[in-house]
Chain A
Amino acid sequence: ETGVTQSPTHLIKTRGQQVTLRCSSQSGHNTVSWYQQALGQGPQFIFQYYREEENGRGNFPPRFSGLQFPNYSSELNVNALELDDSALYLCASSQPGTPEWFGPGTRLLVL
């Protein structure tokens, strides 16, 4: 088990709604990355935060946004939810240039 925690574990929303997912990083880690994992696929990089600043973004639209707090915990916000946003959302924490340690994920279902 890593020290990365995520909440909630499961979530059901309807199209057009907004959702906020939360992640607490492992102690000593100042970098948090978010990934989307569709069923049967590998994780897809959404964005990364380093010391409260966005430090890279994958091919996701602006309705995916995030925050990192002074204690290095992080939030992922998704606006105007679409059916295709249904997925497992993974948070990973690290020190720069070291392995990312993943949390258990939040499973989001959009109806």
Chain B
Amino acid sequence: GESVGLHLPTLSVQEGDNSIINCAYSNSASDYFIWYKQESGKGPQFIIDIRSNMDKRQGQRVTVLLNKTVKHLSLQIAATQPGDSAVYFCAGSRYGNQFYFGTGTSLTVIP
């Protein structure tokens, strides 16, 4: 079956620094990945996605890197702000349905 795992359960960074959150997946057939942000008491919020035909995708202050050889993806947040404090999940799927989520990394931004 599919499994997705995050490398660190917690991460603390200074405001203004860059954050890197890592994720590994088990199913080499996974072809679509999404990073979500979840704040306390809310549903997951879409951040950025990437398909398996890409290695890198950039958004506003965020970059996702995909390494299919080692089945690893990362989320980089530039100039981390207090509003970035949340739990971050990576989710993988095949054909864009039945997403499998990791356990999440809790990011704390220190002012």
The listed residue (A2, A45, A55) touching B99 by CB distance below 8 A is: A45
Contacts known (A97-B32, A99-B34); A48 close to B101, Cβ less than 8 A: no
CB contacts (< 8 Å) of B104 on chain A: these are 41-42
Return the chain B residue nearest A107 by Cβ: B41
The listed residue (B42, B45, B96, B102) touching A97 by CB distance below 8 A is: B96
CA of A76 to CA of B98, assembled, Å: 16
Count of chain B residues near A, Cβ 8 A: 24
CA of A109 to CA of B99, assembled, Å: 25
CA of A99 to CA of B89, assembled, Å: 14
CB contacts (< 8 Å) of A45 on chain B: these are 98-101
Residues of B near any A CB (own CB < 8 A): 1, 4, 32, 34, 36, 41-46, 49, 89, 91, 95-104
Residues of A near any B CB (own CB < 8 A): 2, 4, 31, 33, 35, 41-45, 48, 50, 55-56, 58-59, 90, 92, 94, 96-105
